[in-house]
Amino acid sequence: DFPPADAKYHNYKEAMAEIDADVAAYPSLMSKQVIGKSYEGRDIIAVKITGSAKTAGGAGTADAAKAPAKAAAKPEVLFTAHQHAREHLTVEMALYLLKEFGSQYGKDDRVTKMVDSRVIWVVPDLNPDGGEYDIASGSYRSWRKNRQPNNGSSSRGTDLNRNWDYKWGCCGGSSGSTGSETYRGSGPESAPEVKVVADFVRTRVVGGKQQIKAAIDFHTYSELVLWPFGWTYDDTAAGMTQDERDAFAKVGTSMARSNGYTPEQSSDLYITDGTIDDWLWGNQKIFAYTFEMYPSSAGAGGFYPPDEVIDRETARNRDAVLQLLENADCMYRSIGKEQ
């Protein structure tokens, strides 16, 4: 388990219990679904959050009554956490979002409006096996990958954030060696955890249209707001027009102003291939960001900041998350090109 000094962090069982308690406390807003299983058989779950209030053009409005088939669907937004085992603060971020959306609904205007007008998906733990392995001995192991064995190797694990099916292994931003911290796996989506979440995202294509419009994948650390692409240094490329890049940068920079992070294209950090945000954008046209949370440096706690910072460092992203939700219906509005 977590060392006693960090007992406020939630291990897998505690996180699941907390989520069940939130769903039980706010049954009209939240529901939980098991979207699949990790390599070792742990449930990977998604929590759906949305209010019942009618929104413009939605079911129940005059427009909808006249043409029910054309009732506007609520834009959907996805928040994911814990691809990397040792980045435990990201699970706390997901738990914070559930608590905040549940407890502030009907109290805070921005939260109420977004919960009513969006469908919010939270996948709080993409790598439960790695997370549990990292804390199992009672002292941190600095584990990053999942816990899947590799054929012909004694080294376990795939880096989930190099295993997504977009330009997988294309560009020197991952490794083909099983022992590497950035091992990309034997093929795209070879990690069951990535397959489960990618399949879930694909189920949100309804009538040929991806319902999820925007996303944040939480990591630690460095205090960054990152946008695609990671596979190329170029700002624009096949699959990224100037307007798309500008909308990414505009909303990303504005989110970063609110939390004090540094905004940049993900390849400004280093080249990566097979990451979730490149796949969500390149394959699904979802405006996907990566947040690297607290701290800013290794010296300030690295992957293991003390549990005393959890409340402050999760609430720090409240405004940024609301900003993404508010922009999700039309990201191009941010650059004055509503379409």
Q: Out of 76, 92, 100, 292, which one is annotated catalytic?
A: 292
Nearer to Ca ion, 135 or 198 (CB): 135
Q: Which does 69 bind (CB under 5 to 8 A by kind): ligand 0X9, Ca ion, Zn ion, none?
A: none
With binding defined as CB under 5 A, does residue 145 bind Zn ion? Answer: no
* 3-class state of residue 225 by DSSP: strand
DSSP structural state of residue 190: -
User: Which window, 1-9, 243-251, 267-275, 288-296, contacts Ca ion (CB under 5 A)?
Assistant: 1-9
Maximum Cα interatomic distance, the chain, rounded to a whole number of Å: 63
| Amino acid at position 28, single letter | S
Closest to 216 in 3D by CA, of 173, 261, 163, 181: 261
Cβ-closest position to ligand 0X9: 230
| Residues 95-134 contacting ligand 0X9, CB under 6 A | none
Q: Which of 219, 245, 250, 316 touches Zn ion (CB under 5 A)?
A: 219
* Dist. CA 237–CA 222, nearest whole Å: 26
Residue span 37-56 as binding mask against ligand 0X9, x where in contact by CB under 6 A, dash where not: --------------------
Total binding residues for ligand 0X9 by CB under 6 A?
14
With binding defined as CB under 5 A, does residue 56 bind Ca ion? Answer: no
- Strand 224-227 and strand 287-293: pairing? antiparallel
Q: Which of 226, 255, 324, 325 touches ligand 0X9 (CB under 6 A)?
A: 226
* Dist. CA 295–CA 221, nearest whole Å: 6
* Dist. CA 159–CA 164, nearest whole Å: 10
Q: Which residues are CB-contacts of 137 (< 8 A; sequence separation ≥ 6)?
A: none
Q: Which does 5 bind (CB under 5 to 8 A by kind): ligand 0X9, Ca ion, Zn ion, none?
A: Ca ion
Q: Give the DSSP H or E segment for 21.
A: helix 12-25
- Contact set with Zn ion (CB under 5 A): 84, 87, 219
Residue ranges that bind ligand 0X9, judged by CB under 6 A: 84, 87, 161, 219, 226, 230, 266, 269, 272, 275, 277-278, 290, 292
